Amino acid sequence: MDLPHSVERWTFVTDGMARQGWLTPEQRAAARFPVTIPPKRIAGGIPTDDRGLILSAIKDELESRGINEQEFSQEGLKITTTIDPVAQRQAVDAVNKALDGQPPNLRGALVSIDPETGRIQAYYGGDNGVGLDYARVLKQPGSTFKPFVLLADLLQPDPMGLGTQFKGQPLPGLRNADGASCQVCDLKQAMTISNNVIYHELAVRVGPRKVADAARLAGINTPMNKVDAGIALGDKEVTPVDLASAYATIAAGGVYHPPHLVAKVTTSDDRVLYEALNPSEQRFSAQVARNVTEAMLGVPTYDKLTCPGVARWLPRPAPCSPTWRTRTTTRGPPASPRNWPPRYGSAPTRTRRSRPPGAPRSPGPRCPARSGRPTCTTRPSPSPRRPSGRSRRSARRRR
């Protein structure tokens, strides 16, 4: 309320009432401007914090399902979302911790998806609920795209496999971050240290368009036009939602589930207007997915990250949080994750030092339930000493 103008208007009206004889001089002299109280927040309004962006994303998803803004606002609908309150709180805390002490113009986003269902368990697009949603903003993903180069190779009729060796020293116009060079590395080692030269060369051999096709197969829906070998280093813009979805497909053994925030919509009289059916599609084989996962298993250990809570379920240190590309040499692209914990597929962006909550289960058999959860982490693919499937065939050909 504009208090000075309100007092001015009140005075004008009461003086006029006195001139018209509607108030006696005594009544006008005794009149006082009413005491004001702060306005109450209207129920159902858009929250001004990070929850506002979730609400906007939900409205957009409902619109795509045929439920418009008017129905959402006036029909008394009950919307059941896929957000896990604990995971959401952890996601917000993780991003805030990562941005603490960073330049004020740095922004963060985090999306975490259950790979078995496509349910978005945590969603953070920024702290301004009516501002720009960075979870749906296009940004260059940097080294996050290296797994899709490997995926493109493994999808070929005659793949090179994880054990194929390349020269990893810098070249004119193409360099590695500090500590990421090697005389000769195989593809798994190159993934672990994030060697740009080797994955750039792999993209050249496989074909940049095939890399884009593999990324799209995994779940990247953003158009990628005029691609060249730079796609191996993440020079094509994607959204965190797409990136998390693509990683979740790898984590689910090559099974794609459309990412979604809305689980169910019911009316005030309990009629179901919409319910997510959880469609799935086998985009590529579980064997290929396991080999891509195998290539990333060394990243957390190399970056000194562990997951003590799940280590007892695995035969070696567990793949933990997405690895922040603090060693990237490309200016402009944000830091991005290149691995996941064994529960959700997560894609944080533009932050460099935190780790998001949860992550996808690696493909494979389920293990015993614990802590009240129906499923827990799964055993990763075989160790590098025993490459499986296509990798073994490639090793035999090299011999």
Phi-psi region of 21 (alpha: psi -120 to 50; beta: other; left: phi over 0): left
CA angle 83, 87, 89 (to 5 degrees): 100
Which residue do the tokens 């795509």 mark? 64
Domain total of the chain:
2
Count Cβ atoms below 10 Å from residue 209 Cβ, excluding itself. 13
- Please report whether residue 138 resides in a domain: yes
* Gap between the Cα atoms of 218 and 306, Å rounded: 26
Mean pLDDT to the nearest integer, 265-275:
92
- Please report whether residue 102 resides in a domain: yes
* Gap between the Cα atoms of 276 and 67, Å rounded: 14
* Gap between the Cα atoms of 146 and 157, Å rounded: 20
Residues 20 and 96 in one domain: no
Residue type, 253: G
- Please report whether residue 121 resides in a domain: yes
Mean pLDDT to the nearest integer, 92-98:
91
The 8-class DSSP code of residue 231 comes to: G
Helix (H, G, I), strand (E, B) or coil at 78: strand
pLDDT of residue 303: 80
- Please report whether residue 327 resides in a domain: yes
Is the predicted pLDDT of residue 392 greater than 90, yes or no? Answer: no
Burial (Cβ within 10 Å: 0-12, 13-18, ≥19) of residue 28: middle
Instruction: Give the pLDDT band of residue 254 (cuts 50, 70, 90).
Output: very high
Which residue do the tokens 């590695």 mark? 176
Residues 109 and 21 in one domain: no
Which residue do the tokens 């799964």 mark? 378
Helix (H, G, I), strand (E, B) or coil at 10: helix
Residues 155 and 271 in one domain: yes
- Please report whether residue 212 resides in a domain: yes
Q: Minimal CA–CA distance to 134: which of 121, 124, 122, 145?
A: 124
Residues 144 and 277 in one domain: yes
Is the predicted pLDDT of residue 131 greater than 60, yes or no? Answer: yes
Residues 269 and 368 in one domain: yes
What domain range includes position 228? 89-398
* Gap between the Cα atoms of 152 and 75, Å rounded: 47
pLDDT of residue 343: 44
Residue 317 sits at φ, ψ, to 5 deg, of -50, 135
Dihedral Cα 147, 152, 156, 162, nearest 10 deg: -20
Residues 1 and 120 in one domain: no
Q: Model's pTM, two decimal places? A: 0.70
Q: Could you read off the pLDDT of 280-299 as tens digits, one per residue? A: 999 999 999 999 999 999 98
- What CATH number has the domain bearing residue 102? 3.40.710.10
pLDDT of residue 291: 96
